């Protein structure tokens, strides 16, 4: 992601930057997915069902981070840039949610083809297996993407270094009570 406060980088520098960005996105998604899975595991455990697929959270985070990278390459959700930040944030969040749903469904279909399953069998447990679970999963996905893209939008306006400095070094300029 090229910002106005970042100098032009060489091919190796850009690749390093993209890799760093990929791992930041993957780490964010992993924390979110692991929290959801931990919550699900605690509910199921209370019902006497063992459930602990935390390796799944890591793999899904890596895959979804790659999907987010693909979306950025194609400038997905780059509309409403001149509007107040709420609009590009919401637009990108919805656009990337749709991208993630489509690519996850495609992933299921490809996995099904490899395992010689029908299309219906491949998609039978997509999003949890029921419409209610798919809707709940989509809402959770949107709630994960909104803060992610809100910070991205702030970063585009303020610049990467300024946002990092505000969060990790200087804090607020004026402390008012």
Q: Please, which pLDDT band fits residue 4 given cuts at 50, 70 and 90?
A: very low
Q: Which two tokens stand for residue 167?
A: 């969060």
- What pLDDT does 67 receive? 87
Tell me the C-alpha distance between 160 and 6, whole Å.
8
Angle in degrees, CA 149, 151, 34, rounded to 5: 70
Per DSSP, 128 falls in state G
Q: What is the mean pLDDT of residues 158-170?
A: 81
Burial classification of residue 3, based on how many CB atoms lie within 10 Å of its CB (0-12 exposed, 13-18 middle, 19 or more buried): middle
pLDDT digits over 39-51, tens only? 888 888 888 888 7
- Cβ pair 117, 110 in contact under 8 A: no
pLDDT tens digits for 44-99?
Answer: 888 888 877 778 888 889 988 998 888 888 888 888 878 888 999 999 999 999 98
How much is the pLDDT for 27?
Answer: 94
Distance CA 88, CA 26 (A): 22
- Residue 111: left if φ>0, alpha if ψ -120 to 50, beta else—which one? alpha
pLDDT at 6 over 60: no
pLDDT > 50? residue 1 = no
Q: Is the dihedral of CA 98, 100, 104, 107 positive or negative?
A: positive
- Return d(Cα 144, Cα 25) in angstroms, integer: 11
**Cβ 129 vs Cβ 76: under 8 Å:** no
Q: DSSP character for 83?
A: S
Residue located via tokens 């992993």: 30
pLDDT of 3 reads 47
Distance CA 159, CA 82 (A): 16
To the question of pTM greater than 0.85 for the whole model, the response is no
């Amino acid at each position: 992601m090229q910002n106005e406060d970042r100098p032009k980088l060489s091919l190796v520098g850009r690749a390093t930057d993209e890799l760093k960005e990929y791992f930041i996105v993957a780490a964010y998604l992993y924390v979110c997915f692991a929290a959801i899975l931990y919550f699900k595991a605690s509910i199921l455990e209370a019902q006497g069902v063992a459930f602990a697929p935390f390796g799944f959270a890591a793999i899904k985070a890596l895959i979804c981070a790659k999907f987010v990278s693909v979306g950025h390459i194609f400038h997905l959700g780059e509309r409403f840039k001149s509007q107040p930040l709420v609009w590009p944030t919401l637009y990108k969040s919805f656009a990337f949610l749709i991208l993630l749903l489509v690519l996850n469904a495609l992933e299921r279909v490809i996995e099904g083809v490899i395992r010689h399953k029908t299309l219906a069998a491949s998609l039978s447990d997509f999003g949890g297996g029921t419409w209610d679970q798919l809707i709940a999963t989509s809402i959770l996905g949107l709630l994960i993407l909104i803060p992610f893209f809100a910070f991205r939008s702030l970063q585009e306006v303020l610049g990467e270094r300024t946002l990092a400095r505000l969060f990790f070094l200087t804090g607020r300029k004026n402390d008012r009570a």
